[in-house]
Amino acid sequence: MSVLDVTVFPHDFAWGAATAAYQIEGGWDVDGRGPSVWDTFCHAKGGVFEDHTGDVACNSYQLWEEDLKCIQQLGLTHYRLSISWSRLLPDGTTNHVNPKGVAYYNKVIDDLIACNVKPMITLYHMDLPQALQDLGGWSSTEIADIFESYARFCFKTFGDRVKLWITLNEPYVCAKLGHEDGTFAPGIKDPGISVYLAGHNMLRAHTKAWHTYNTHFRPLQAGQVSLALNSDWAEPSDPGCPKDAAATERYKDFTLGWFACPVFCTGDYPESMRARIESRSLDLGYKQGSRLPRFSKDEPSPLGTADFFALNYYTSRKVIDLNGGSKKSELSFVGDQGAEGVVDPSWPICGVHWLAVVPDGLRKLLKYIKDAYTSLPVYITENGFSQMGPVQIEDADRCRFYQDTLQEVGKAVSQDGVNVKGYFAWSLLDNFEWSHGYSVRFGLFHVDFSTPELKRTSYRSGREYAAVISKHRSQT
């Protein structure tokens, strides 16, 4: 295995790790926090592995100092965390601010800065306040203005110290798994309709928040705002088959393009997406207007509402054409897309079944983003390797994964000219992995969930990541 050349990374490269509030904080009903859709989804039982919940999780709400020790042990320059919207604003609105929530995040931010670690803060990482879901959630038009008020409150309260903001994490996942498949909170199964409405209102919310920051906060605070988009790298299953090649372009458009095109390219959805959805509505006799909403001329455009490209990358797929398949007779996102991503049998799987290990897919995706979307700086805001079954503290496979992945990122920088500004490993800690509960572990630190102390212990991958960071900082 060749040694990683750290000198290819810029001197001010952000070395980070990422977490999310519901996945680590616990303290679900203490100190005035309101319930989120994930509290409701977990407590309803049946949607999560062995009915696990985030009620306690890593208990970071009470054990923040332990997390800070882990951050310092790694030598991170940056730490990405999310704010629990309902911890700050229990009913989701600024009518009722929870001072204990404000105090918690103030302490986290101040402690990070005192340790010379820059916070990157995500405003929304899957955990919508239940009070807002009761009003229609992301399917309601009003949610965009409510989110803008929440964002404004956060910019005003924390923006003097926080210079990197993510409005929304993975709107694709929230829309598709939460409103189409029903496998994520809020558990809505409304094929082919709610998925696009939720996605649209998330883009409207992001747009309003970005414009608010740009107008009212950027002049004094001088920070940057974006949204974190997840994407696989995708290639045709049969490169010689024109149908698979066309399906691959649709797959990219319906995943990354759905959100990247409005923000970075045209201010609207990909043309292929609108054309496919309209034509399938016609074929299936759907007559209740366009399923893919249009952006109103009366609202600010999403175009240009990102100061950097935030990318969450985990895996790659080979794409096969699905036109004429079994999904054709009913409304559905997959039917509209007319494409399916499959795992190449030659790719190793790490832990969870969907996670094929394809480090060079990240390099290809970074180049694709530069060529197709933007030359803005890119932060890789999530990337990681999962473990299941018996705990392996000496996680050699994960160590190799990080080595290989960082080499591919280095090639994207040095050979492809991609302006990669930072890399955030998912995750700092083993945590509540959504519908997988605690059965899947992504941490650089192991958390012993079997004891109330929830002891954090560094995996070998954590020690090796720390060594990479240390080497880079000493050489640049």
Active site residues: 382
Residue 68's alpha-carbon distances to 1, 102, 186, 339, in angstroms, are 32, 18, 31, 43
Q: How would you class 442 by CB atoms within 10 Å of its CB: exposed for 0-12, middle for 13-18, buried for 19 or more? A: buried
Task: State both tokens at 28.
Answer: 């679900």
Residue in the structure block whose two tokens are 């409701």: 40
Task: State both tokens at 177.
Answer: 């798994």
Residue 252's alpha-carbon distances to 245, 247, 248, 260, 308, in angstroms, are 11, 9, 6, 10, 20
Nearest CA-CA partner of 433 in 233, 232, 130, 184? 184
End-to-end CA distance of the chain: give it in Å, rounded.
23
d(CA 276, CA 289): 14
Residue 464's alpha-carbon distances to 64, 74, 99, 128, 437, in angstroms, are 23, 9, 39, 36, 27
Q: In Å, how far from its chain's centre is CA 421?
A: 17
Beta pairing partners, 236 = 319
d(CA 455, CA 446): 8
d(CA 27, CA 57): 8
Task: State both tokens at 313.
Answer: 């990358």
